[in-house]
Amino acid sequence: MLSTQNAQAADLVIFPELFLTGYPPKDHVFESDFMQRCDQALKELAQKYSQQSFILGTITQSEDGVRCNSAVWIDQGQILASYQKALLPSYDVFFEPRYFKGRKQLFEPVSWKNYKVAISICEDFWFRDGKSSGKYETDPVIEQLEEGCDFLLNLSASPFEEGKSKNRKDLASYYAQKYQTPFLFCNMVGGNDDLIFDGQSFIMSAQGNIQGQAKSFSSDLLLCEFPLSSKEVSVTERDSIADVADALCLGVYDFVRKNQQSKVWIALSGGIDSACVAQLACRALGSKNVKLVFMPSKYTRQMSHDDAHLIAKNLGCSLDVIPISEAINTFEKLLENSFQPEATGTAEENIQARTRSLLLMALSNHHGGLVLSTGNKSEIAVGYCTLYGDMVGALNPLGDVWKSQVYRLSNYLNQTQVAIPDRVYTRAPSAELKEDQEDQDSLPSYEILDAILSLRIEKKYSASEIIAEGFSDETVSKVLDLVEKSEFKRSQSPIILKISSVAFGSGRLYPVARTSYED
């Protein structure tokens, strides 16, 4: 920032929240050697770039052991200022009070090169948002702005979710226009476990106009000069499904890379979900690093054979074909005395799913690489999935994507690389675990199911409130009962990449053992 040419010539360079540690560092902060490495890394950066001025996020610790989520300003090799985050979120995926102490006293704007600079960290800026309003006693950004400053900096590790980019700009615009103060927002980019950070840092004028915006889902350098001009920069709003695609690809890429792996294994069925995961993986990692495995049973239809081979060919991926009928017969033989008169129903179906998972994990163990699970949010919500079967894997890219969204997502990806045959989009969804099986034999149509689940899971509607939206009492009761009974499966799910306001995982915590639910 504050440069006429590039980062080397910049007067001041700004990095995101917890830049040195990644967000969230979780229980690493309790380890003394981890904290020592944080301190050492900061000292080394100060020495190496002793002729520059920069602000970055890290963890600071006082002599009495109090840890803070801090922004440290290094100027000419020395600490010019250290700002401690005031508002520590404890909702959704955030657990900061477990690790940090929030600043209580007013932070005075920093005087630097004839400027007065106000600093805030992520949640400090979200005080006026509906989620945060009422949770805190003070608004640290307003406090600094009322002291008077020339521009406001916000260092953020703000996870992606659909629509959040607009919310950030609306909030920044509120502060900028009300106090006639330019706003510089610097956000993290990359994937950390279930969280995906989209970047999209921006510079906003005192009039609330965007003066520049960094790339989405990619590292970028955004330069500006002070004082800012009044000219507004046109920023094209991205389609939400494009954001979802880029977010999931980044999440897959960083998860695999940060686990010191390079390739993934996917069970390809010929259906839409596994095809979509294969599309995402190829886009994230390259086709040569995506290993597809087709494991047909006696219930697998010919069109699934045909489509699986065509999808693999179109994507440029290798395809291992391993028929499982013989293995299933062996398991049924082993169990015939215990399954009197014979293995039928759900038990027989689950044996097929678990046989596939065993083979998939064997290939992963033998050749290396991670297994990607292929279940979507709708199926996971109602337990239409097999524990230790199709739920197996290190990561689930679609676990926060409703079934109806999966079709949109896959179709969007297909526009860039035509890989999925039209029939995959139009055929009735089926697990193909028994003769002529279709998902809608057990579930409402996905259009209805997704609407009910969204109201319940993301908006927290009660059964009566959902029924008041026009859904039948019987259907709502069935769906909510399935959700309640499936918590034990979700608690053992692979890590799910988060793209919505409420994803299964760290941001949605419910007990597994409970009494029956009543509205």
Q: How far is CA 368 from the centre of its chain?
A: 25
What local confidence, expressed as pLDDT, does residue 127 receive? 78
Nearest 5°: the CA angle 392, 396, 399 is: 115
Selected catalytic residue, list 17, 96, 349, 432: 17
Res. 271: pLDDT tops 80? yes
197 inside domain: yes
* Cβ atoms of 90 and 132 closer than 8 Å: no
Q: Which amino acid is at 446?
A: Y
For residue 341, name the pLDDT band (cuts at 50, 70, 90).
low
Same domain, 94 and 162: yes
Of 238, 268, 296, the last residue of a domain is 238
Q: Put residue 372 in one of left, alpha, beta given phi > 0 → left and psi -120 to 50 → alpha.
A: beta
CATH of the domain at 56: 3.60.110.10
Residue-wise pLDDT for 436-477, tens only, equals 666 676 788 999 999 999 999 999 999 999 999 999 999 999
DSSP states of 255-324 = HHHHTT---EEEE--SSHHHHHHHHHHHHHH-GGGEEEEE---TT--HHHHHHHHHHHHHHT-EEEE---
Per-residue pLDDT at 335 exceeds 60: yes
At residue 408's C-alpha, the angle toward residues 444 and 414, to 5°, is 135
- The pLDDT value recorded for residue 439 is 67
CB neighbour class for 257 (10 Å; exposed up to 12, middle 13-18, buried from 19): middle
pLDDT at 118 over 50: yes
Q: Please indicate whether residue 323 or residue 129 has the higher confidence score (pLDDT).
A: 323
Q: Do 201 and 288 fall within a single domain?
A: no
Given the residues 38, 122, 224, 282, the one annotated as active site: 122
106: closest CA among 75, 84, 136? Answer: 84
503 inside domain: no
Which residues does 3 contact at the CB level (< 8 Å), separation at least 6?
9, 10, 11, 223, 224, 225
363 with 317, same domain: the answer is: yes
Q: What pLDDT digit, counting tens, does each position of 161-181 carry?
A: 998 998 999 999 999 998 999
Distance, in Å, from the CA atom of 117 to the CA atom of 45, rounded to the nearest integer, reads 22
Which of the residues 38, 85, 349, 432 is marked catalytic? Answer: 85
CATH (domain of 403): 3.40.50.620
Identify the CA nearest to 240 among candidates 461, 459, 402, 89.
402
pLDDT tens-digit map of 354-385 = 999 999 999 999 999 999 999 999 999 999 99
Residue 4 has pLDDT above 60, yes or no: no
Tell whether 233 and 342 lie within a shared domain. no
What whole-number distance in Å separates Cα of residue 267 and Cα of residue 274?
Answer: 7
Provide the Cα torsion 131, 137, 141, 145; round to 10°: 140
* Total number of domains constituting the chain: 2
Do 179 and 262 fall into the same domain?
no
Q: Write down how long the chain is.
A: 519
| Cα gap 209→129, rounded to integer Å | 20
Query: Residue 427 gets which letter from DSSP?
Result: S
Domain boundary among the residues 183, 209, 238 is at 238
User: Are residues 181 and 210 located together in one domain of the fold?
Assistant: yes
Q: Tokens for 160?
A: 């992606």
Distance, CA of 272 to CA of 278 (rounded, Å): 10
Count helices and strands in the chain by DSSP H and E runs: 15, 18
Q: Which domain holds residue 400?
A: 244-438+486-496
> Could you tell me the pLDDT band of residue 435, with boundaries at 50, 70 and 90?
confident
How do residues 205-258 score in pLDDT, each as one tens digit?
A: 999 999 999 999 999 999 888 887 767 777 777 889 999 999 999 999 999 999
What is the average pLDDT score of the chain? 90
Q: Are residues 166 and 103 in the same domain?
A: yes
Q: Has residue 7 got a pLDDT over 70?
A: no
Are 185 and 314 in the same domain? Answer: no
State how far the Cα of 223 lies from the Cα of 487, in Å rounded to an integer. Answer: 47
Band of residue 2 on the pLDDT scale cut at 50, 70, 90: very low
User: Is 149 in the active site?
Assistant: no
The Cα–Cα gap between 308 and 329 comes to: 24
* Per-residue three-class SS string for 205-263: CCCCCEEEECCECCCCCCCCCCCCCCCCCCCCCCCHHHHHHHHHHHHHHHHHHHCCCCC
Residue 427 and residue 368 share a domain = yes
| pLDDT attached to residue 224 | 86
For helices 302-315 and 272-285, give the axis angle rounded to 10 degrees.
10
Q: What is the DSSP pairing of strand 195-198 with strand 151-156?
A: unpaired
Q: How far apart are CA 109 and CA 205, in angstroms?
A: 18
The DSSP annotation for 393-412 comes to SSEETTTTS-HHHHHHHHHH
Residue 115 lies in a domain: yes
**Is 85 labeled as catalytic in the residue annotation?**
yes
**Does 501 reside within a domain?**
no
Q: Are 439 and 429 in contact (CB under 8 A)?
A: yes
- Mean pLDDT lowest among 90-104, 251-265, 285-299, 334-348: 334-348
CB 109 within 8 A of CB 98: no
Task: Give yes or no: 17 in active site.
Answer: yes
- Is residue 205 located within the same domain as residue 309? no
* Band of pLDDT at residue 117, cut at 50, 70 and 90: very high
Specify if 308 maps to a domain. yes
> Which residue carries 């970055």 as its tokens?
56
Give the H/E segment covering residue 75.
Answer: strand 67-75
Query: Does residue 189 sit within a domain?
Result: yes
**Residue 355 falls within a domain, yes or no?**
yes
- Classify residue 71: in a domain, yes or no: yes
Q: Are residues 82 and 226 in the same domain?
A: yes
Q: Same domain, yes or no, for 190 and 262?
A: no
Q: What's the sign of the alpha-carbon dihedral 398, 403, 408, 414?
A: positive
For the record, the structure tokens of 486 come out as 């499936």
